[in-house]
């Protein structure tokens, strides 16, 4: 049986190669436009059933008949994984003709796998999305479904916090929906601040610089930073730009009516450089991954970190025994300080979260499932379980136990200007460059002007008006 299978596939391979060699090389664009074609030629011959052909046949059918939905998510941790499976099981029970197939993939591996699938024109039905520029590129290529109309039904869109939902809205159309969203802020150790003689968390940027000096004098590493991964450091620069330039500067630069080399962006680099020059980070921070950064916070080796809403869970997860207790008893949170000459509102937030997008081949039941997932009951449960923290459905925050997370959620909801991290918001070519260039600022190999200019160059090429 096996040998015959091998032989038949080998002959297909021969045939395919000969055909491929003779035919003009198909532009990969042909693949997204006509996904049925490859499926038709291979489905009868291949003994191995594949998911792709089945998915393309599904969309035509309404809710009758068997429906299969592929769902790729990145919640590899047990409690999240189990909770998601439970919601899927619940849905399948209520809709016996629907089968949801879940593939759980780790974050970085997921990005690689998704990219290749997207590029081959074959998106999964439901998948993890962070919104912003990457989702925008998929939308532009027609690989994800426009959910605006589907969300008008039952006013579903109104049940989601507007700020986070905006991250998945491109040119006024909704292409995805978040199930958690929070903002970046400073997580700090109250005991270490006390030891260094700091009475209160800093309200202004200059206060922060003073506090950093006090911590250094007390022989405490002021800030943990895993700059090998680059994105932790880019938070600093972006937040400074959010403060100094506000929504106006960013919108102008993004729409190409302004530039990323305008004054606020350069000044942002100058202010951050003041912090970097104080050498506030742990030893070897340029080579430290985010995991090392987490370990530093978890084990009480640094006094603060500028990090997102997940930090509490991540840090606690890496702390052992006494260190864990010390962490949980003493951790506090304060928002990114105000800056002199700032144009933005002090409540402006930099943040983001996790959400879902729907692949172009997905059946309508996939959207139904997403709405089901984001019901207030489910979200409140998950908020309580520490999975969806903070939740995005209005009212679900009642399930939050942690006062710090409650505060984050409140502020994020109230922010007038909610900016998604640049490395997600901008198209990958620019976003990735922002990360690379800000790392250079931390390494001292670039200047604030050069940094802003480099970003502007990339934006000019990538962001056509």
Interface with other proteins in residues 377-436 (CB under 8 A): 427-429, 432-433, 436
Which of 65, 162, 197, 284 is the binder for other proteins (CB under 8 A)?
284
List for the chain the helix, strand, coil content (%; round to 5): 55, 15, 30
d(CA 265, CA 253): 10
Closest CA to 327 of 191, 136, 426: 191
Residue 7 binding other proteins, by CB under 8 A? no
Query: b/e map of 318-337 (b: 16 or more CB within 10 Å)?
Result: bbeeebbebbeeebebbbbb
Query: b/e map of 224-237 (b: 16 or more CB within 10 Å)?
Result: bbbbbbbbbbbbbb
Which of 238, 306, 323, 455 is the binder for other proteins (CB under 8 A)?
323
Residue closer to other proteins, measured from CB, 204 or 330: 330
Which of 69, 88, 100, 138 is the binder for other proteins (CB under 8 A)?
138
Residue 101 binding other proteins, by CB under 8 A? yes
Which of 175, 235, 285, 333 is the binder for other proteins (CB under 8 A)?
285
Residue 107 binding other proteins, by CB under 8 A? yes
Q: What is the DSSP annotation of 73-97?
A: E---SHHHHHHHHHHHHHHHHHSTT
Residue 34 binding other proteins, by CB under 8 A? no
Residue 65 binding other proteins, by CB under 8 A? no
Q: Which whole-number Å values give the CA distances from 245 to 241, 242, 346, in the listed order? A: 5, 6, 12
What's the half-sphere exposure (Cβ side, CA atoms, 13 Å) at 426? Answer: 28
Residue 341 binding other proteins, by CB under 8 A? no
What is the nearest approach in angstroms of other proteins to the Cβ of residue 414?
25
Residue 324 binding other proteins, by CB under 8 A? yes
Residue closer to other proteins, measured from CB, 316 or 375: 316
What's the half-sphere exposure (Cβ side, CA atoms, 13 Å) at 65? Answer: 10
Residue 319 binding other proteins, by CB under 8 A? yes
Residue 122 binding other proteins, by CB under 8 A? yes
Q: What is the DSSP annotation of 335-350?
A: PPPB-TT--S-TT-EE
Asked if residues 208 and 334 have their Cβ atoms less than 8 Å apart, the reply is no
What is the nearest approach in angstroms of other proteins to the Cβ of residue 443?
5
What is the nearest approach in angstroms of other proteins to the Cβ of residue 150?
23
Stretch that binds other proteins, among 102-110, 202-210, 270-278, 410-418 (CB under 8 A): 102-110
d(CA 400, CA 412): 14
Long-range contacts of 75-79 (CB under 8 A, 24+ apart): 75/104, 75/387, 76/104, 76/105, 76/106, 79/385, 79/386, 79/387
Residue 142 binding other proteins, by CB under 8 A? yes
Q: What is the DSSP annotation of 100-161?
A: EEEEE--HHHHHHHHHHHHHTT---SEEEE--HHHHHHHHHTT-B---HHHHHGGGGGGGB-
Asked if residues 220 and 303 have their Cβ atoms less than 8 Å apart, the reply is yes
Stretch that binds other proteins, among 82-90, 104-112, 155-163, 365-373 (CB under 8 A): 104-112
Helices (H) and strands (E) in the chain, counts: 22, 11
What is the nearest approach in angstroms of other proteins to the Cβ of residue 34?
12
Which of 119, 148, 279, 328 is the binder for other proteins (CB under 8 A)?
119
Residue 8 binding other proteins, by CB under 8 A? no
Which of 283, 340, 377, 449 is the binder for other proteins (CB under 8 A)?
283
Residue 32 binding other proteins, by CB under 8 A? yes
Closest CA to 338 of 247, 463, 246, 265: 246
Stretch that binds other proteins, among 67-75, 82-90, 239-247, 449-457 (CB under 8 A): 67-75
Q: How many residues bind other proteins (CB under 8 A)?
A: 97
Residue 16 binding other proteins, by CB under 8 A? yes
What is the nearest approach in angstroms of other proteins to the Cβ of residue 181?
14
Which of 67, 143, 215, 238 is the binder for other proteins (CB under 8 A)?
143
Residue 112 binding other proteins, by CB under 8 A? yes
Closest CA to 97 of 70, 126, 65: 65
Residue 85 binding other proteins, by CB under 8 A? no
Residue closer to other proteins, measured from CB, 169 or 221: 221
Which of 97, 116, 279, 328 is the binder for other proteins (CB under 8 A)?
116
Residue 82 binding other proteins, by CB under 8 A? no
User: Which conformational region is residue 331 in: left (phi greater than 0), alpha (psi within -120 to 50 degrees), or beta?
Assistant: beta
Instruction: State phi, psi for 47 to the nearest 5 degrees.
Output: -75, -30
Stretch that binds other proteins, among 91-99, 114-122, 259-267, 360-368 (CB under 8 A): 114-122
3-state SS class at 67: strand
Residue 23 binding other proteins, by CB under 8 A? no
Residues 207-246 that bind other proteins (CB under 8 A): 227-230
Q: In terms of DSSP bridges, do strands 331-334 and 185-189 run parallel, antiparallel, or are they unpaired? A: antiparallel
What is the nearest approach in angstroms of other proteins to the Cβ of residue 339?
26
């Amino acid at each position: 049986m096996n040998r015959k299978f091998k032989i038949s596939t080998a002959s297909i391979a021969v045939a395919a190669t000969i055909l491929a060699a003779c035919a003009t090389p198909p532009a990969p664009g042909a693949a997204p436009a006509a996904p049925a074609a490859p499926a038709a030629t291979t489905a009868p011959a291949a003994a191995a059933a594949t998911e792709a052909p089945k998915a393309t046949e599904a969309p035509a059918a309404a809710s009758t008949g068997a429906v299969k939905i592929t769902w790729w998510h990145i919640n590899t941790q047990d409690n999240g994984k189990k909770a998601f499976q439970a919601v899927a099981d619940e849905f399948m029970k209520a809709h016996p003709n629907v089968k949801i197939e879940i593939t759980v993939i780790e974050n970085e591996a997921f990005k690689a796998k998704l990219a290749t699938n997207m590029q081959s024109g074959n998106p999964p039905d439901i998948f993890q999305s962070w919104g912003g520029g990457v989702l925008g590129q998929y939308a532009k290529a027609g690989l994800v479904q426009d959910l605006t109309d589907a969300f008008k039904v039952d006013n579903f869109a109104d049940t989601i916090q507007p700020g986070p939902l905006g991250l998945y809205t491109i040119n006024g159309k909704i292409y995805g929906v978040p199930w958690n969203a929070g903002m970046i802020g400073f997580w700090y150790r109250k005991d270490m601040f006390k030891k260094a003689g700091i009475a209160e968390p800093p309200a202004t940027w200059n206060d922060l610089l003073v506090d950093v000096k006090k911590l250094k004098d007390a022989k405490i590493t002021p800030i943990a930073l895993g700059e090998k991964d680059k994105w932790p450091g880019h938070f600093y620069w972006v937040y400074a730009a959010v403060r100094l330039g506000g929504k106006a500067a960013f919108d102008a630069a993004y729409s190409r009516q302004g530039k990323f080399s305008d004054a606020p962006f350069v000044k942002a680099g100058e202010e951050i450089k003041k912090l970097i020059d104080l050498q506030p980070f742990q030893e070897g921070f340029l080579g430290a991954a985010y995991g090392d950064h987490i370990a530093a916070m978890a084990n009480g080796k640094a006094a603060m970190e500028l990090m997102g809403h997940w930090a509490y869970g991540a840090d606690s997860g890496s702390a052992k025994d006494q260190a864990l207790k010390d962490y949980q008893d003493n951790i506090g949170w304060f928002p990114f300080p105000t800056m002199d000459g700032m144009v933005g509102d002090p409540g402006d937030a930099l943040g983001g979260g996790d959400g879902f997008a729907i692949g172009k081949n997905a059946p309508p039941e996939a959207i139904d499932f997403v709405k089901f997932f984001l019901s207030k009951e489910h979200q409140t449960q998950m908020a309580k379980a520490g999975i969806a923290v903070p939740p995005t459905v209005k009212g679900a925050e009642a399930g939050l136990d942690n006062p710090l997370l409650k505060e984050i959620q409140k502020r994020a909801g109230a922010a007038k200007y909610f900016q998604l991290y640049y490395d997600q918001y901008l198209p990958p070519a620019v976003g990735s460059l922002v990360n690379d260039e800000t790392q250079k600022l931390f390494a001292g190999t670039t200047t604030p002007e050069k940094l802003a200019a480099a970003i502007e160059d990339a934006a000019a090429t990538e962001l056509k008006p």
